[in-house]
Each structure stands twice: as structure tokens, then as C-alpha cells.
A = this chain, B = another copy of it.
């Protein structure tokens, strides 16, 4: 399970060094083969390949006639890119993905359980601020009895 934020930088060749604490798990679960795709929140998602497959299958099994669903299929499957870690534990971020998430040099890598997220630094800070802004009336039912 991946957790925690890491501040890192894309180098001149658009390579991203995966933090060392994740490498062992990524090598053992899928030999360093990852899928990078986009998220509607304008960040990138990084899945170990085995974790991605069922998601893609699920997406493809949904109705092609609902516009929202169709949009999601195009967004997620359409932008998915296969990458592999190099000897130094880095992955290459393709230009279209970099552009989509507005990534410049400084980026933030966020562990989210079975996947990782890559954020433009300012976007991530905004995201955190928004999450802190919880108003009483907005709490969804599934969170009602939730205790930290």
C-alpha cells in the first residue's frame, strides 16, 4: 500500500524518480511495469500493471451510450501509457500526460493505497485546502458514521 507525499522533480528528459521506499513493492508486484493515465482532477494516476487491468476491463464493460461513461472511457483508457522503471527506478512521463496535468519541474507524488498520483505542486496545495473546507451540510451519507 502506498502512502505519503513526496516532493520531487522531473529532470530535463521528463523522467520521474520513484521514491526508493516504493520500488521494492513495485518490482515484486509487476517487475516495474506501470500504467500512467489521467484523472479528472487534473493529476496523473500511476498503477502497477496488475492493478490497472481490472479497472480497464470494468470501464470497457460499461455502456457506451451514457455520455459521462463514454467520456471517462476515452479519458482514462485513451490516455493510458505503459511505462517501465529504468535501472535507477525512474519512469518516463510522456509529453501529452505532462501537458494534461500541467507538470513543470517541481511535482508532488502522492501515495493512495493501490495507486500513486502525480500533481503539479500548486494544484496539490489547492486540493488540500479544498479538502479542509468541510461544511456541515455537505457530508455524504457514506461518511456519516465515520470516526478517525
Listed in ascending order, the chain A residues whose CB lies under 8 Å from chain B are: 1, 3-5, 7, 21, 35, 39-42, 45, 55-56, 58, 60, 62-63, 66, 68-82, 94, 96, 100, 110-115, 117, 127-128, 130-132, 134, 138-140, 142-143, 146, 148
Q: Which residues of B contact A58 (CB under 8 A)?
A: 146
Given contacts A78-B110, A131-B72, A134-B68, is CB(A56)–CB(B1) below 8 Å?
yes
Chain B nearest Cβ from A56, distance in angstroms: 7
Chain B nearest Cβ from A144, distance in angstroms: 11
A139 to B47 Cα, complex, angstroms: 24
Q: Which residues of B contact A1 (CB under 8 A)?
A: 56
A95 to B128 Cα, complex, angstroms: 16
Q: List 9 A-B contacts (CB under 8 A).
A: A3-B35, A4-B94, A40-B134, A62-B143, A69-B142, A71-B127, A74-B112, A77-B111, A115-B148
Given contacts A66-B140, A75-B131, is CB(A4)–CB(B80) below 8 Å?
yes
Q: Which residues of B contact A73 (CB under 8 A)?
A: 112
Q: Which residues of B contact A45 (CB under 8 A)?
A: 148
Q: Closest residue of chain B to A70, judged by CB? A: B41
Which of the listed residues A39, A56, A113, A139 has the most CB atoms from chain B within 10 Å of its own CB? Answer: A113
Q: Which residues of B contact A41 (CB under 8 A)?
A: 70
Given contacts A68-B138, A140-B69, A146-B58, is CB(A82)–CB(B3) below 8 Å?
yes
Q: In the complex, are the beta carbons of A113 and B77 less than 8 A apart?
A: yes
